[in-house]
Structure formats: structure tokens, C-alpha cells
Structure 1
Amino acid sequence: MRNSVICLSLLAACAQAQQLYITTTGYDERPQCTQPAASPEYYFQPFSYSMNETVRFATSVPAPTSTQTYAPPYSEAVKHLTTKPATTTWGNWLPEQTEITATDGDDPYGQAAWSSMWQQVQLENYTTTGLYSTTVSPTPIPTSELVLPPRDYFGPTDCYNFPDDFVFGVAGSAAQVEGAVALEGRSPTILEKLVGSDQPKDYVTNENYYLYKQDIQRLAAMGVKYYSFSIPWTRILPFVLPGSPVNEQGIKHYDDLINTVLEAGMQPVVTLIHFDTPWMFVSGDDSTVRPDIGYNNGGYQNETFVDAFVNYAKIVLSHYADRVPIWVTFNEPLLYCFNFTGAQNVINAHAQVYHFYHDELKATGKMGIKFNDNFGVPRDPRNASDVAAANRFNEMQLGLFANPIFLGQQYPDSILSTLPGAKPLSHHDLSYIANTSDFFGIDPYTATVVSPAPEGIDDCAANHTAANTLWPYCVVQETQNVYGWDIGYRSESYVYITPTYLREYLGYLWNTFRYPVLVSEFGFPVFAEADKELPDQRFDTPRSIYYLSYMSEILKAILGIMRSSLGCRW
């Protein structure tokens, strides 16, 4: 499953050279301009409007002529489950509803028990379910809507192309696009409760749950070949735990969604969990314990999490693995692992699901995991302390998961020596976890400039008090270089346009973990975009610069570092 590595020693030198500061004066030289400019000659001639503009239309994805399978169908795959789960349906928890009207209170998995979960959550500002209550039939996309935007004046100047097997597509997670959170049997997740009062809720969003057929048809008309989405655990298993019944409506929904993608000529990419952990893993947990390596309480540290997630994943895979070529187990687990136990549970659950997929189902698709990490680059690459700080930052962000999964190696020393309760994996565990990913998924939105904590990394790491805001990484994260310039053009959020650092980052991942790389998310929220008129939003120059520069560096990385890679646009 691995690809050959090309010119490792040369690539390492090139990656380092990208961030060295070479001081000079004046304007950039243009070595490609070897001929002197011609002397101008001035003359008059009759004027005419002669400017031409090429109008380009999107090329739609052709309808498929055959289908490929990657695993046995459900009728055979279900035999690999311990027991065949029962299926049932539930109703809706409607806006402003506070009372339970169902009368099946004796059924632990009945409508009353399901409604009770929503009653306990007490949704804030849940006032509408949106415009739709059933799946919308798609309408043809008018040709007038397939006119591509005018070509950017500054664009690629080379003749390089992506490999024919390059994976390029678009993505949207369930919590960000579906809506219908309390409808058709879905039960609560942490995202309905942990999002701050001042933040938009996921109750409605884009209503993709009902508009998916139209959305998929539009993507296919644009020429998109891969569509990545996530399946909410609580829409498949509202009561979450092993032995609880499966939501028949949820199973049918994603079965039809996957089939719709395939019928449109695209390929589905499915993520099993994208931040939307079932609420029951954190409900009643009013602990004020400070998270260590993680950022939010995603419930991964719950003692029942591993068995429950593996059970859920097996059910989903038994239904859909035959038609889906690429699977992601966890999205950016660091953000919601909360502590070392949570991270350890993620690694354990991921490995079990991977072995089920390849060893039991004998599936031939690809399965992996994807991480967040704003690539840490040393503030001054000539300063050994800054380099050490960047290495520590990157290994704590990635090595915690990637060392055992990709390399079969122990947790980084920085993890074991810093996090309370961190303990090394046994040789047996390392052997089981090693090589349980077919690609290295990364969401490299931007870079961050790193230098050591003022008191030094070691002293900082030993200070676990709440007052030490730099613990556990014990590095200073900035967005300016040593000369006071931002590292790139800023978005409305933390994202800066940092394409050259992206190429360096891909070199770091390739040379460190030596697996094919899936660039699984990147994007650029334009500043004050909501204040613009729709035509101005559609022209989208800042985001176009971001995408073009990132894709250009990904292409250079493929041609100069890797023979093949995977990429997915967010």
C-alpha cells in the first residue's frame, strides 16, 4: 500500500532551504527573463474594440458504465457481526417541544426513551427545522449556471499536470451541512451543546439531509469526481451502545446517498466520526478538569467509547463497504480527545476498525485516519532552540497518533514525559496497531511560527498549573516571522495563505511517516464575506488565490517528492 520514496536526502535539503532567510536588497530578480526588453516604437492606428474573452463551461462527470465493489454486500458482511442488530424507527423532536407525548415508557429503546434524550439536552434557540421535511427531488442544472468564472489574471505558468489517478473532490461533514438534527431518529451529539451561545447551531445549516440529491447533481454537473461526507453515529444508532437497535431511516438515507453519488458518476469518501460524538459520552460530566493534549471534551476518554465506536463502525461498514472506496475513521481526533486516555482510546478503536475492514471483510478499498496540525515552523530556522520547539510541537500534534499507527513506534518522549497518566504501549499493542492506515490524512489549513516557551521547554513542561497557558506544548505560537511580517494573507479566522510552508509540510510528512498523503481538508473563510453582495462572493478572488497556490504546491510536491498522492478540497 506504500509508494516508493524518491531522492530522500535531496528532498530533506530542499525542505530546509524553503524557510531559510536569505537577505538581499532591491526587487526580486527574474532569472527566466534572459532577453532584454525591446525598445518601444510609438505610432498611431485606427482604434477598434478587439479584446476577446474565452467563456468556459464546466464539463460534467459522465454517467458510469460499470460499478466496482470493494467488499461483500450486506447480506454476506452481516455475518461478521456478533449479532444481527434489530432495526426500528423513531419520530421527531420538534422546535419548542418540552413534553414527551409517547406512551411506550416501558421500552428502553422506544419513542419515549428517545424523546427523553432530547428533553434532557434542552436545546438552546431551537425554533425551526428549516424549509423541508422530506427529500427534495433534483431538478436539471441549467447550462447558464455552468459558466466557469473568468480566468484569474495570475495563474499557472508551467506545463505540469496532476497524475491521472490524482483524487480531487469536495467535502462537507454532516454537522456542517445536514441540519435535521432532531428529526427521523437522530439523537443528540456534543455539537448541539458544546458550541457556545454566540455561535451558529447545527439545527438547520444547509439542509443537505433533504437536499442531498440536488447538491450531488450540482457537484456532478460541475465535474467533481469525489464527494467526501460523514455519517453521524447518532443517526445510525440513536442509543449509541452495542445491543441497541439500528435506525432504519438512517440506514436507508445513507444507502440512497451513496447510490446517488455513484449514479452521478462520482465516488464517495466516508468519515465515520467528524466531531459529532454522541452526547451520552459527556452528559452528566460536569468535571472542571483541565484538558491536557486535547482541546475539547469529545467523550473519547469515556470507558465505553471504544467498544461502542467499533460496534457502530462495523454496522456502517457491513452496510456500505461494498460501494465506498475510501474510508476515514476519525476526523482530527486531537481536537476532541481531551486527554491522553482519549487519544489512546482513539488509537485502539481505529486499529480495531481497520482490522475488521481488511482482515474480516477482506475489503480492498482504502481506510485511514486524518489529523489537524497547523504545521509548526521555527521562528528562526538558524536558531537551534526554535528548531527544537518546532519539532516538539509537530511530534506532539501528530506523533501521539502517527508513531504507533504508521511507524509501529512508541509514543514520542515529549508525550510520555509531559502528560499526566501517559504510559507507553506494550509490544503486543504496538504490533496490533502498526500499519493500520492506508494513507496519512492531514488538514493543513495554515502554518504557525513556533519558538520555545520563555522559561524553556523543560521548565514549562514540568509546570502543570492552570496559570501555565503554554502547557503542554510549551512553545510560543505566532503568525509573524522574525522581520515582523505576517506569514501570509489572513482570512477571517486563523487561516493564512502559506503555500510554500504547505509544500515543506508535505515533505515532512512523506519523509517522516512514509505513507501516501491525503490532503483531506483545506479552505479559506474570506474576511467579511457575509457583508458582500452575491456576485462579489462568487468572484471569490482571495479564496481562489488560496486554492490555486495550495494546489500548485501540492503538484510540485507530487512531482518532486512523491510518485502519487491523494487530495481533497474542502
Structure 2
Amino acid sequence: MFSSFLRFIGIVGFIINALHKANSCDLPAKGNPYFPNNFSFGIATSAYQIEGGWDADGKGPSIWDDFTHNYSHLIDKNSTGDISADSYHHFDQDLAALKELKVNHYRFSISWPRIFPNGDISSRNQKGIDYYNKIIDKLLKNGIQPMVTMFHFDLPVDIQKIGGFMSDKFIEKFVAYATELFENFGDRVKIWMTFNEPQIFCKSSYADGRYPPLAGISGEGDYICVTNTLKAHAAVYKVYRSRFYEKQKGKISIALGNYFFLPKSNETEAAYRALQFNIGFLAHPIFHTSGGFPKVMIEDIKSNSLKEGRLTSRLPSLKGYWKNLIKGSADFFALNYYTSRMMQRAVQPKGLNPSWERDMDCDESLDPSWLKATSGTWLYCVPEGLEGMLKFLRDEYGDLEVMITENGWSDVGELDDVSRIRYLKSHLQAVLNGISSGSNITAYTYWSLIDNFEWRSGYSIKYGLYSVDFQSSNRERTPKKSANFYREVISSKKIPNEIHV
């Protein structure tokens, strides 16, 4: 732990130096200006956010269908994903955009309730399987590699009825679902992610109660959710390696991340602590040689739990069988990165008691020089954070393959999206700098292909390289200037000195 912290001090020094040299949202280049010949450029979406067809061809309801139908007042303009970009009926428009961009891979998620309408294998829906077979076959026919996420927030309602991620039954249900995916698609899909950003959905769904199922079990529900997610992921990895890998030869991971943390003033320990409570929460059990949860989490959550009068820690234990099964249960690191924060130890306890925030015991702030996205309140352009995250992963977990599986910028939907181009350019430079510094980065995936349903923000914020006409029954896609920029990068395998749009 101490040696890892010392290495992190070196990372911090490097980043602070970069921040002093760079303007907001710009990043100096270093090393070879070209991406490797075998580097893969791609783009991402998720099922609930773009598919629509919420009850088409036998699909069952997800917790997001239930939430948007019954709690629409909690969503911007009472929006739903019932139709969204209607990719279920207009995938060929998405395919045309993918071909126009010349991407090497397309990351999309499969809707669990479209495959198993009630979440269980007993409800197997062939029409749902046919839909994803069509997508995979069309991608491969056009030289685009499918990169598939098994779960991106849209849990079947019937799985939630038996406890969702709070129940041990979830693990066997998810393994059965994943096995069905391997059996139907594994001959052609070679890159899998079991879950997308568990730290987000576990906290938002089971601690804060902002996302369905609105559980609100602060400081405990999120920890149970993460633990069961790790167990389900590892169990699926074991099934794949024992039953499918010999013939299918694919890779499996779990998409983690979102933020990097920098010290405010000299509070390096606080930034390191925040990283362990965030990305380390799920990465340490899988990628660290010691396995299990980070030591700082184990010790401090146990201490806080005892002070609260509990007999045991609110953080479940990962020991024996499960600790060993989870350790090493990924073939690459799937990294989502968007932005960064400055961290210091909390001046006074914050958050509910108990809560993850109170356990982490840090205060976050922003650098006033960071460029802010024009939509939402959380996204700032900090490419140094991505470069720092790549170095942190290398120092903390060793020389592992990294695929960047999400990185994106939001605005209000303008076609002349110069700020997105600037964000994209600087973060691609961070990737190139990471490669030059020794990180084994093999893929970059921009979020997202098209404007879509952004959870509780509805359609008020836009991440797409392509605009969608949500007022039209055909949902026509229109390229933004950023699409032209990304296509130029992919074609040349180089970041252009001048932005040609």
C-alpha cells in the first residue's frame, strides 16, 4: 500500500507539471504522433438509451421502463426511452454512420429483458436473439468488430422483484443470461464486458435512490451491490474460460472508472484515497495481486461501522473462494474516463450517516481553469486526468492491456460542436501520450455514436457525434462537425495539427 502511494506521488507531480504547461482542455504532445497500426478506434451506445421498441417482439420490462412510466416526474420533461433513437427499427441508420466514420469496433449493450423477458432462461425470446444476431452479422460484414456489454443498467423487472443486486440469486440468474449470450453470439463476439460502471449504478440505485429501484440503502446497499456484481462477473468469467474459451478465444472484462482525482494543494493522500474508494473499489479485487477490497476501505468502513454500534462492517468480506475467484477475472482493463476532480480530506463529515461519502471522508472541488461542458453540472475537460489515470493503472496493477471503452463530451445538441472536437482532440492526445509513456493501450471508444436518452436528464443533454431528429418518425441521423474530425483521425491514425471541419 505504501509503495503504491509513493508511486502515486510521482503521478501527481507529473500531472501538476502538465497542468501548469497546458491551457484548459489542451494537452502537449510527446513521442510518436501516430497511433499504432493495430490500434482500434470505436464508438459506443447502450441498449436502453437508443433502442426504443420497449415492448416490441416479446421484450419484457426493465427497471428503467418501470421507472420512466411510473416516476416520469423525476425525469427531465417526463421523458422515456420507449422510442428514443428507435435503433430497434432503424439500426441501418446507425450502421451507415458507423461505416461513414470508418470505425474499427462498435461497443453496444444487449438488453437482458429482450433476451429473457422475465430475466430467467425459462422465458427465452428468440426474436430478441435474432435482433442481436442481425446487428453482429451486419457489423462483421462491414469489417466492424462487435464489442458487447452484457448489462448497462436495464435490469429485468422480475429480477428486481427477487431482490436485484441485493440477492445472492442475482448471481445465478446473471450467469444463466451470460451463458445464453456466449452460446448464441460467442462464435462472432470476441470482446465482452459483463457490467458497465457498477460503481455508478450501485450507488445511484441502492444508496442514493436516484436511479431505479430507488432503494436508498445508504452506506450498505451500494456495498452489497458491488460485492454481488463482482461475484457475478467472476462466475461468468469462470464459465467462459471453462466452457467457451477453447473454441471462441474471446476476451472478457468489466467497464470501470469515470473520474480521476488530483490533490488540492498538497493533499496527495486524499486524492489517492479517493481513487481507492472509486476505481479501486472494483479494480483492486480483480487486478491487484493481493485481491480483495482496498485496505483503506476495509479498515475505515469497519471502524465507522463499529462506531455506529454495529457488530460487523457494512462492507461485505471478500475472502476464501470468492476472493480467489474474483482475482484475475479479466483479460484487459476496460476504462471509462470523462473528467476529474480536486480532492482534500473533509473539513467536517459529509453525506448521510452512514454513506460512501462519509466513509471516503474527502471533499471535492474544481480547478477554475477547467473548461465546463455547456450541459449538465458535472463534466469538465481535464485530459491530464486521463493521462494520469493510465499511469495510475500501470503503476497500481501492472502492465496490463487497457481498452478505453467510454470517453465523451456533452452539449445541448449543436451541429457546430467545436467544444466536443477540442475535448476529443485533447483526450486522444492523452491516449497517445500514455502509449508513449509505456501503457499498453489498444483501443479508444468515444461515447456516443448518436444523441440518446441520458437517464434522468432525458434528452436535455447530447453526447452524440450524430444528431437525431427525435420529432421525426424515422429518427434521421445527421453528422456533427465532430464526426468529420473523428473520421479524419481514424483514417490517418494521427491527430491533425489543424482541425478541418
The match for 2:99 among 220, 232, 236 is: 220
**Which one has more relative contact order, counting CA pairs under 8 Å at least 6 apart?**
2
Distance 1:221 1:17, change over 3 A: closer
Greater gyration radius: 1
Amino acid at match of 1:247: N
CA contact (8 A) 2:230 2:326 kept: yes
The equivalent of 1:240 in structure 2 is 119
Within a 5 Å distance, the mapping from 1:91-102 to structure 2 comes to none
- 1:425 paired with 2:318, answer yes
CA contact (8 A) 2:111 2:151 kept: yes
Within a 5 Å distance, the mapping from 1:146-225 to structure 2 comes to 160-194=33-67, 197=73, 198-199=75-76, 200-225=79-104
How far residue 215 of structure 1 moved from its aligned partner, in angstroms, is 1.5
The match for 1:257 among 135, 155, 158 is: 135
Higher helix share: 2
Partners in 2 of 1:444 and 1:426 — Cα distance? 30
Higher strand share: 2
- 1:492 paired with 2:378, answer no
The match for 2:182 among 310, 314, 317 is: 317
The match for 2:233 among 350, 353, 358 is: 350
Tell me the SS of whatever aligns to 1:204. Answer: coil
- 1:465 paired with 2:353, answer yes
How far residue 194 of structure 1 moved from its aligned partner, in angstroms, is 3.6
CA contact (8 A) 1:236 1:246 kept: yes
The equivalent of 2:262 in structure 1 is 377
Amino acid at match of 2:42: G
Partners in 1 of 2:324 and 2:401 — Cα distance? 21
Amino acid at match of 1:310: V
The equivalent of 2:277 in structure 1 is 396
CA contact (8 A) 1:510 1:516 kept: no
CA RMSD of aligned residues (A): 2.9
Q: Which runs of 5+ in 1 are unaligned?
A: 1-8, 30-153, 286-298, 531-536
CA contact (8 A) 1:516 1:564 kept: yes
How far residue 19 of structure 1 moved from its aligned partner, in angstroms, is 1.4
Distance 1:449 1:305, change over 3 A: same
The equivalent of 2:215 in structure 1 is none
**Mean CA deviation greater in 272-281 or 469-478:** 469-478
Partners in 2 of 1:10 and 1:451 — Cα distance? 19
The equivalent of 1:19 in structure 2 is 16
CA contact (8 A) 1:217 1:264 kept: no
CA contact (8 A) 2:333 2:403 kept: yes
Tell me the SS of whatever aligns to 1:319. Answer: helix
CA contact (8 A) 1:281 1:302 kept: no
- 1:446 paired with 2:311, answer no
CA contact (8 A) 1:301 1:343 kept: no
Distance 1:284 1:269, change over 3 A: closer
CA contact (8 A) 2:11 2:392 kept: no
Distance 1:21 1:181, change over 3 A: closer
How far residue 218 of structure 1 moved from its aligned partner, in angstroms, is 2.9
The equivalent of 2:444 in structure 1 is 567
The equivalent of 1:38 in structure 2 is none
The equivalent of 1:268 in structure 2 is 146
Question: 1:37-64: CA deviations, max 9, x gaps?
Answer: xxxxxxxxxxxxxxxxxxxxxxxxxxxx
CA contact (8 A) 1:237 1:312 kept: yes
CA contact (8 A) 2:402 2:440 kept: no
Distance 1:22 1:15, change over 3 A: closer
Partners in 1 of 2:419 and 2:29 — Cα distance? 16
Partners in 2 of 1:28 and 1:508 — Cα distance? 20
The equivalent of 2:410 in structure 1 is 525
Distance 1:421 1:206, change over 3 A: same
Partners in 2 of 1:447 and 1:546 — Cα distance? 13
Tell me the SS of whatever aligns to 2:54. Answer: coil
CA contact (8 A) 2:112 2:155 kept: yes
Distance 1:433 1:486, change over 3 A: same
Q: TM-score, normalised by structure 1?
A: 0.65
Partners in 2 of 1:397 and 1:238 — Cα distance? 33
Tell me the SS of whatever aligns to 1:404. Answer: helix
CA contact (8 A) 1:12 1:507 kept: no
Distance 1:469 1:413, change over 3 A: closer
CA contact (8 A) 1:331 1:369 kept: yes
The equivalent of 2:454 in structure 1 is none
Partners in 2 of 1:426 and 1:495 — Cα distance? 37
Question: 1:8-58: CA deviations, max 9, x gaps?
Answer: x999736522215998xxx999xxxxxxxxxxxxxxxxxxxxxxxxxxxxx
How far residue 373 of structure 1 moved from its aligned partner, in angstroms, is 3.1
- 1:510 paired with 2:394, answer yes
Tell me the SS of whatever aligns to 2:446. Answer: coil
How far residue 504 of structure 1 moved from its aligned partner, in angstroms, is 1.1
Q: Which runs of 5+ in 2 are unaligned?
A: 1-5, 207-221, 303-312, 448-501
Partners in 2 of 1:406 and 1:155 — Cα distance? 30
